[in-house]
């Protein structure tokens, strides 16, 4: 199993970063943080998180997912991936054990869908943090029943109502199908398809390829 996982990790990194040397990829995978035993543990815990959630309430799923991924180390894209802005798949994120705000939000998005949360109730949302005006991404979840938007944020483990967070100003949001411009927290305008976001299209293609490779081994 360990040899197979090692091969999978190397292959995924080679596919994601064809311009990196094999030695560079090997160093990334087998540093103290990404040794194959620790990588196997993280991926196994991820699978268990999903499998064990069948009887969980929505609130339990949201909290478990938020806390699980928030344990991953924060790292800027230029440091972690050698690019100014790179959106990692959940597998890349957990394999490397580091990423930035987009990577946390995307991993939570796909994991909650795998747990049975309605994808229509999830929105990856670019915001600015005030007063610093720093760009950031969070995952917003429309709570069943109340319809309240809840925020899953890599900066904090506690889940808060988005409408009460005065430090976050939404810019745009999207899910697997649609793209919206957020004029305010309450005024949202659909402006087209998510296919307009190139980085999302690229991520989905890599994620599908990685899923197919793992399934075939």
The domains found in the chain, sorted by start residue, are 2-216 (3.10.620.30)
| Percent helix / strand / coil, the chain, rounded to 5 | 50, 20, 30
Is the pLDDT confidence value at 87 over 50?
yes
Is the pLDDT confidence value at 200 over 90?
yes
User: What is the pTM for the complete model shown?
Assistant: 0.85
Q: Tell how far CA 144 is from the center of its chain.
A: 22
Cα–Cα distance, 30 to 36 (Å, whole number): 7
Cβ partners under 8 Å of residue 126, min gap 6? 135, 136, 137, 170, 171, 172, 173
- pLDDT value of position 9: 55
* Percent of all residues in the chain with a pLDDT value above 70, rounded to a whole number: 81
- pLDDT value of position 51: 94
Cβ partners under 8 Å of residue 165, min gap 6? 151
Question: For 26-35, what is the mean pLDDT?
Answer: 51
- pLDDT value of position 211: 77
Is the pLDDT confidence value at 3 over 50?
no
Distances in Å between the Cα of 24 and the Cα atoms of 7, 14, 19, 77, 85 are 15, 10, 10, 16, 19
């Amino acid at each position: 199993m360990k040899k197979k996982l090692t091969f999978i990790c190397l292959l995924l990194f080679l596919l994601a970063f064809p311009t990196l040397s094999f030695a560079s990829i090997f160093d990334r995978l087998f540093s103290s943080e990404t040794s194959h035993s620790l990588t196997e543990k993280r991926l196994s815990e991820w699978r268990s998180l999903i499998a064990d959630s069948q009887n969980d309430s929505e609130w339990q799923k949201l909290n478990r997912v938020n806390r699980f991924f928030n344990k991953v180390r924060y790292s800027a894209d230029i440091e972690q991936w050698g690019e100014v802005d790179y959106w990692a798949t959940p597998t890349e994120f957990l394999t490397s054990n580091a990423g930035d705000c987009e990577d946390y939000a995307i991993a939570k998005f796909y994991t909650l869908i795998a747990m049975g949360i309605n994808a229509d109730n999830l929105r990856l949302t670019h915001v600015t943090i005030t007063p610093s005006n720093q760009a950031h991404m969070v995952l917003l979840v429309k709570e069943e029943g109340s319809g309240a938007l809840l925020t899953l944020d890599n900066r904090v483990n506690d889940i808060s109502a988005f409408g009460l967070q005065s430090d976050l100003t939404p810019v745009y949001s999207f899910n697997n199908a649609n793209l919206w411009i957020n004029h305010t927290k309450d005024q949202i305008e659909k402006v087209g398809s998510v296919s307009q976001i190139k980085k999302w299209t690229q991520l989905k293609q890599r994620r599908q390829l990685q899923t197919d490779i793992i399934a075939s081994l």
